[in-house]
Structure formats: structure tokens, C-alpha cells
Structure 1
């Protein structure tokens, strides 16, 4: 049996058939024989809507209940997509397991089994916490059970976070980048925003030399004056659509499309380490430039929208420490000079 002869939304899954309709959050195993009346009856029911949630207490039922909850519906589209990816992994391994029988050591083992990808392993635990909280709300867990996913020690970040792009990387990228990749780069540097927010910038958001926006991840409202460099660059950009960054037809583009385009640009660069610097790096460059210009934490927060504590630890800690130490020692030198002159 090949994919070409299967009806829409039906896929082969390790010898079985699965109905997958991501827009509705459906991922359902079809155990009926392909082409049988029972198969088509089940298939047509799934096309009309979601399969009834089974009464049995298992992760399959828990997941459908969570997908129907207001908590899930209120998530940002990108967060929903990320949650679904990890929830489907949990469904795959524990679909028929009773949530009440999950103990901390089970979650710990799940976490350790994914240790080679520490970020994904940590996300799995975080999603488990959300699912098990929902299990308590719908009566799948009793209060005395607690949340077995809470308290699992997460893997520590294996680096200091995204690295800023060095000057030589930036110089070569600016020279060889495609027009759209360069535009995204300039917007990230100039506004200090995440690439997801940069891609949603509309020309109408740019008024009187400033960018008026609401961050997609935090819902934080920001008003950011544009740098002279960004103003000059935007003056050279053709307005093809509502958004500043578009495809050839003037339509908005997806994050993955632009990220892949920027990866290809870096892959063709002469610098041997170009590929290791990720698309999020220019946001860190913007933060560091603010600190080097003498901005304090609140000023940096006003531009980037980042929390001061995170900004200090992840982006500007070393740079800010050096700037403060330099200013402190200069003050001492000045004091000594004044004392010697008296």
C-alpha cells in the first residue's frame, strides 16, 4: 500500500493506518482493514469531526480533554504547535496508560531518555507538568497524588545561550545575504526583537520614526524609536505588501522559511564558523550594543522587552559588568587625580 492510494489525511504509521488532521488536532489510529465498510464508516466520521473521547482514563482521553480546554485554546499559535509536537510524543509512548499510575521516576526516565537533546528533554517535562495539572482538574488525579512531573531536575543549559554574531561574520553576511535575509537581519539588529515579531511588522506599525508593536510571545506593548541605520535601510526597501518582510508576491512569510533562507546564506559564506551562529543571534547583538552605549537594565528592557533578570544573565551580563567596572575605575582615577592636584 502506498501513500498515493490512501485517502486524504490517512497515513501509514509503522504498519498501521493513522488519521492525522493537524488543523483540528486529530491523530487517531484506524484499526479497521483498509477499504472495508468499517474503515470507510470510521473515516467519514473523522472527516465530519473529532472522534468521541473514550471514557477510559488514559493519556489519550487526557490529551483530547486538554486540547478542548480554554487553557490550550488561549495559547499562541506557535506555542500550540510546540505543545502538540511534545504531546504527540507522550501520546505515542503512554497513550493507553492511566495518568494516575505515572510516578516521578517514570517522568525522570522519560527525561533522561532524551538527554542527547537537552532542550527538547526539558520541554517534555514542562509539557508533562501542564498535562498532569489538567489531569487533576478533570479528576484523573487526586489531590494527594500531586503532580509527578514537578520537581524533576532539568538539564542545565549547555552554553551561555545564543551567541552574538562577531564583526567578521556580520560583515560577510551583509555582503552576501539575499535581500530578504538582509532585511530580516537589519530589522532584528535595529529593533532588538525576536524574528517571529520581526516577520509580523507591518508598514503601518512604522510611524513617525518608531515601531509600535505588541510582542507575540509576551503580549507586551512596546514603542521603539528606529535607529538611524534602520531608517536608512528601510528607505531602500520596496513596499510589496502589508508586512515589511514578504515573499515575491507580497504575502507574509513563515518563520521556518526565513530561518532556512538565512541558514543557506550562512552555509555559503567563506567564514568556517558562520553556520554555528543562529538567527536569534542579532537580537543579542542589539542587546549588547545597548549596554555598550551605556544603557542601564531598564533602558535595555524598554527596547527589547526582555525581563531585566533574564537580560542580565543571558544577554548582557558580561558586557554590562565590564562597562560598570570601567566606569567605576575611571571614577577612581578621576578621584585620585583630584586628590593629587590639591
Structure 2
């Protein structure tokens, strides 16, 4: 890329370039750091903007992990290397969790020379608060979670005497409206208007209850004939390695059976190629939903994961027990079934209260 009559092409790797509401947004793919926000113009204009010295300087100033650097035993850097490369617990984590931990450790790189024996909870609060300001509160909480997971394994192997990350309270306050159940009119609008490459993952979340990390990897050979329901899904979930059989609803079967199959994966981008990652798919869906929200077609808080909540709520209202809902979601714990349907239980209590009032 370049400016003027001479164009020098420079490959800028690791970027996520998104166009939303007519504007361009450029992020670092691994860390979600914003390099350019709200740029207006054609793609050629964006390329020229990205070739300007200030953008290149910002791109080059990103934290880059030096994989050749080694750290002495007993330091944070040495422990991270052990955890990522040798610890069995780390290898068993879901890919999405590993990615979150990798981003957290990249942020902590300047602290890698710190001696493990000197790390106190007060130190972790300091780095957490600094991280929340430089990045965002939720990222800071994930960083502490990554450290706590690593420290727990270190204590078990006598690499540390204790886990100083235990008991640290979160700085991110969860939005109670996040990942809420969709209203019927919201789903009807999206189902009738969304482009196929975005509707397909939403249909699967709505009618099979899968997480994004499962949806992005779901293949056509996972969609199989079933003598009782016509079609079903048989997969091993990415998060908990659970073998899960789920009937495909009539609505989902009717939709999927009409799709072309340009790839082994069911969900593909607009050009028919598989999504690069769960994050890329979820980001594209999110940008689309926020555009609809801005236009007044749907409300706030609608997310891909919220359709999993909608799926669970439907099962609960149909009479399914909490444990049955959890099983249909692919979760081992009944607690997760309760998590997704607590609002339905509250609705039932309100209904009983008003029915009792009518009887009186």
C-alpha cells in the first residue's frame, strides 16, 4: 500500500477489518486492540489510510511476544511457558479458553521477569486495575482467571506455595440484559431478513441451542438421519467433550435441507468458505444485529448466545425439567439448565400468583 502514484504493498498481518454502517473499523485480531475506528470511504481509501506513517507506527507498536526469550525458573515467564506447553490441564481447555488465556499472557509479557515468590494479591489487584484502564474491565477479569487457573496447577506441582489470585473480585459488572432471551417479534424479523451466511448460525443456535464455538465447527456429517425425528445432530461438544445427541426441529430441518453445501462446514461466510474462527463469525453476527437495533427492528441485548437462552426457555415452557434442559444444551450440570431458564421459573411464579388472584 502507498500514497500517491507509487504504491508499495505492505502486508499487515493479524488484522481484522470490518465494515459496519458504512464505516471501516480495524482491530488487532488477537487482542481486539482498535487501530482505526469509524473511517469513511471506499476500500481503496482505507488501504491508503493504513499506509500512512501514523497508522504504521501504531501497528508496529503493538505488544509482540518474543518467542525466543527464555526466563529463569521461578519467574512468571517460566511458569507461563510451562503452563502453555507442558501442563495437561491447559491442553484439555477449549480452544476459545486457550485463546483468551494467550491474549492475557501477551498483555502480561512486561511482567514476565517477576519472581513467583514475590507475587501478592495486592500486586494482582494493581495489574488488574491497570489492565482495566488500558484495555477493558472484562479483559482484566479474564486475565486474572488465566492467572488463577495457572497458579492452581502450579501449587499442585509445588511450583508455588499458594494461589494469590484466589478470591479476587471482578471489576466487570455483568449486564443482566446480556444474552437475554429473544422476543418472538425480534426472531421473526431476523429470520425473514438476515442474509443466509448470518442466518444459518443463528438458526442453529435458536433451534439446537449450540454455543458459537460448536456452531462454527459443525459439519454436514454431524447432521444425520434419525428414525424418530427425521434428522438429528450427533457431536462431541468443544467445551466439555460431552457426546450429545439432539433432534433437529422441523423448522431447522426445513431450513438446512434447502441450503447448498459448498464446504464440509455447515456455516460458511458469504463467499462459501468456512469462518476463520468463532470470533469472526460472532463479530459479523453482532455487527448485523446492532445495525438492526439502530434501525429499530430489534431491541438491545440480542446476541447469538441469547438464542441459546431462547432455545432453553422454549424447552422449559414446554414442560422439560431443569436437568432435561441441561442435557439438551450439552451441559453436564443441572446448574446450567437453571442458569438459562431462571427467568422462565420466575414467569411461572408470577402466573401462579395472578391465577390465584383470579380464583379469589
TM-score (norm: length of structure 1): 0.75
1:53-92 equivalences in 2 (<5 Å): 53-55=70-72, 57-71=74-88, 72-92=90-110
Aligned residues: 300
| Residue in 1 that maps onto 2:312 | 287
3-state SS in 2 of match to 1:207: strand
CA–CA distance in structure 1, aligned partners of residues 189 and 242 of structure 2 = 34
Higher deviation after alignment, 273-282 or 83-92: 273-282
Deviation of residue 234 (structure 1)? 1.4
| Residue in 1 that maps onto 2:280 | 257
Higher deviation after alignment, 177-186 or 239-248: 239-248
3-state SS in 2 of match to 1:268: helix
Deviation of residue 103 (structure 1)? 0.8
CA–CA distance in structure 1, aligned partners of residues 272 and 171 of structure 2 = 42
TM-score (norm: length of structure 2): 0.71
- 1:194-240 CA-to-partner distances (Å, cap 9, x unmatched) read 12212222221122211111111111111111111111111211122
CA contact (8 A) 1:176 1:265 kept: no
CA contact (8 A) 2:262 2:272 kept: yes
| Residue in 1 that maps onto 2:126 | 109
Shift in CA distance, 187/273, structure 1 to aligned 2, threshold 3 Å? closer
CA contact (8 A) 1:212 1:223 kept: yes
Deviation of residue 88 (structure 1)? 1.4
Q: Which runs of 5+ in 1 are unaligned?
A: 21-26, 29-49, 338-342
| Residue in 2 that maps onto 1:98 | 115
RMSD: 3.6
Between structures 1 and 2, the one with greater helix share? 1
- 1:87-110 CA-to-partner distances (Å, cap 9, x unmatched) read 112223x12211110111111223
Shift in CA distance, 137/5, structure 1 to aligned 2, threshold 3 Å? farther
Deviation of residue 250 (structure 1)? 4.6
